[in-house]
Structure 1
């Protein structure tokens, strides 16, 4: 068994999609499942959205519970641009697993995300010059890797791939291309905690002689009624929602005044939910989103994801939703908590980072998840497309 601890639900789902491509059975849970028979067990902790102290406590508990599983590999899935409490969680996990060193490889060169000379680049430009600087919870203010990790002097070493690994401590590996990812895999030994983003994970699988065996599932058919919930602050995400609205996908924007109130008994909340229900009854689908003109801060982000989750629960209580399309990891985690969903099985990889999953115990409830900075497959959201194959699992 391979075990992944993911600090974000959409990142967990992304790796679940890779499992399908590599012919692995996968189970995504919110807690350690010692009875799991999956090839790939992914524990989605949602620690990225928690205060640091809570994130540390969750990481400590999950890491302690892993011992009974005796996994072949433990991988710490972190954000590719290092948002979250990365160093704090790595240190705890390293200690609990009794490992002297950790290797973090956050780059996704296939998406233009590289680390060169200690600087994180997006398509060749410093990351802090991009829209990631506007993240409401973890804004990127510097592209220097130690600064992105909030590291003190001596906390981490940023090394090039030809430089030797130290016997202990935390290393961030520089990566300019896929060959560098493979080279870092060759430096991993039994004393190394491995952490990073999606492309490093697939490179590790291939270093273990696990090769892609199943082509991507492609576009399937949206189950109706379907509710899309977009809690991402990423500007491209909001622009896409606006485009989908123009092209006929019914979107219900959260009233800006509701963000200031934050109350589910506010008449604005009730009207917003009722409008979404009307769209679902009329068109079979609806979207809940933040208006593109809203500029949110950290407190607003918490209010928004709470209201999104409460709205999803209210709508699902009124009418049985067969498919939830969830964007943004913290929003998705808030939704599944209120819906009391504990375990998911990936059934289709619809696009890079976009994974469709079935809820354990239900053959007619699906969740399709994606990170805010990735793109939805537009053909999946609009009618007139052929169905794709799915993989049925339950264990």
Structure 2
């Protein structure tokens, strides 16, 4: 059955992978462009779902709008369904990025809920897991809209129009999964690759959820990188590097750049077959350093934890997780997929 292509625009790499994984689990061929400049090559692939990470979550609103407009121009000559992936807690420059991608009169289906992970939409606001105070959705979208109460994945599926081509979709992994169910009903996932050592675990997120997951690890040495810097790397088949605050406070972008350098050195030192990155910028920065611009998404190894493989360059299995999701034993479960160290 012929299907329209799906184009996903996310403001960070974790989001691009999260929202694309649901399509891969149903048998779709999924390609992720790690940066906007990688999008034309991805569009030239045979993938049925193309996602792009704009890397604009933490920049200025003006830069986010400029990059989104450039992406819109790249997509203009391609027919398909547009999905604007947004953070489920509505972080970033949502309205500024949506404006060049969807005309003011376009029909929008908006819902950032991810019921499978306990994040819901009630009375027009995001609530549930990881949300201390409900977050109204419409003001962040910048358009008048109503969002039905959403407690289950079935609630999300019910919000899709009969003709999917009628709308632009704005949401997170939950809405992407609903769309994938409609387009690939009964589709079967391809087998995930076996995780191999050596493995590098890069923890760039400082979210309390992630900190609890790191603390739950008992048998994995944790190497701290204050302000992103870690001058000495041990010889070990499994290396976990966590960015921590330094003795002196430095700008966030400087710490992120230092951490990217640390991870690049760790990659040269460890030569990992498996890379796990918690925090989208950590993965994006390392892949940029390695010159890797495209990934093939294969599915999820745990809920909300997508698995991808490099589509170019050295073969590498990449696993990513958003900082604010998952139970305390998420990293423990992940490490158990690896061979015994």
Deviation at 1:189, TM superposition (A): 5.7
Kindly tell me: are residues 222 and 204 of structure 1, through their superposed partners in 2, closer, same or farther at Cα, counting changes over 3 Å?
closer
Kindly tell me: are residues 378 and 196 of structure 1, through their superposed partners in 2, closer, same or farther at Cα, counting changes over 3 Å?
same
| Secondary structure in 2 matching 1:36 | coil
Q: Distance in 2 between matches of 1:23 and 1:91?
A: 31
| Secondary structure in 2 matching 1:47 | coil
**Counterpart of 1:16?**
20
Kindly tell me: are residues 189 and 353 of structure 1, through their superposed partners in 2, closer, same or farther at Cα, counting changes over 3 Å?
closer
**Counterpart of 2:102?**
94
**Counterpart of 1:53?**
62
Kindly tell me: are residues 182 and 248 of structure 1, through their superposed partners in 2, closer, same or farther at Cα, counting changes over 3 Å?
same
Q: Distance in 1 between matches of 2:107 and 2:268?
A: 48
Q: Is the 8 A contact 2:210 2:323 kept in 1?
A: yes
1:156 corresponds to which of 138, 143, 165 = 143
Deviation at 1:176, TM superposition (A): 3.1
Q: Distance in 1 between matches of 2:294 and 2:51?
A: 10
Q: Is the 8 A contact 1:222 1:380 kept in 2?
A: no
**Counterpart of 1:240?**
213
Q: Is residue 118 of structure 2 the alignment partner of residue 112 of structure 1?
A: yes
1:3 corresponds to which of 3, 7, 15 = 7
Q: Distance in 2 between matches of 1:20 and 1:190?
A: 20
Q: Distance in 2 between matches of 1:200 and 1:306?
A: 33
Q: Is the 8 A contact 2:216 2:332 kept in 1?
A: no
Q: Is residue 188 of structure 2 the alignment partner of residue 214 of structure 1?
A: yes
2:237 corresponds to which of 284, 288, 291 = 284
**Please, which runs of 5 or more residues in structure 2 have no aligned partner?**
none
Deviation at 1:199, TM superposition (A): 1.1
Deviation at 1:201, TM superposition (A): 1.2
Q: Is the 8 A contact 2:20 2:176 kept in 1?
A: no
| Secondary structure in 1 matching 2:205 | coil
Kindly tell me: are residues 160 and 53 of structure 1, through their superposed partners in 2, closer, same or farther at Cα, counting changes over 3 Å?
closer
Q: Is the 8 A contact 1:4 1:42 kept in 2?
A: yes
| Secondary structure in 2 matching 1:69 | coil
What are the superposed Cα offsets for residues 98-121 of structure 1, whole Å, 9 maximum, x if unpaired?
A: 863333211112222222223322
Alignment of structure 1 residues 1-395 onto 2, 5 Å = 1-29=5-33, 30=35, 31-33=38-40, 34-71=43-80, 73-95=81-103, 100-122=106-128, 127-129=131-133, 143-146=135-138, 149=140, 155-161=142-148, 174-186=149-161, 190-208=165-183, 210-214=184-188, 221-244=194-217, 247-255=218-226, 259=227, 269=229, 272-274=230-232, 277-278=233-234, 281=235, 283-291=236-244, 300-362=251-313, 364-375=315-326, 376=330, 378-382=332-336
**Structure of higher CA gyration radius:** 1
| Secondary structure in 2 matching 1:42 | strand
Q: Distance in 2 between matches of 1:117 and 1:79?
A: 18
| Secondary structure in 1 matching 2:334 | helix
What are the superposed Cα offsets for residues 198-234 of structure 1, whole Å, 9 maximum, x if unpaired?
A: 11112122333x224325857x643222111111121
| Secondary structure in 2 matching 1:361 | coil
Kindly tell me: are residues 301 and 366 of structure 1, through their superposed partners in 2, closer, same or farther at Cα, counting changes over 3 Å?
same
Aligned CA RMSD, in angstroms, stands at 2.9
Kindly tell me: are residues 331 and 312 of structure 1, through their superposed partners in 2, closer, same or farther at Cα, counting changes over 3 Å?
same
Q: Is the 8 A contact 1:322 1:366 kept in 2?
A: yes
Aligned length: 328
What is the TM-score when the length of structure 2 is the normalising length? 0.85
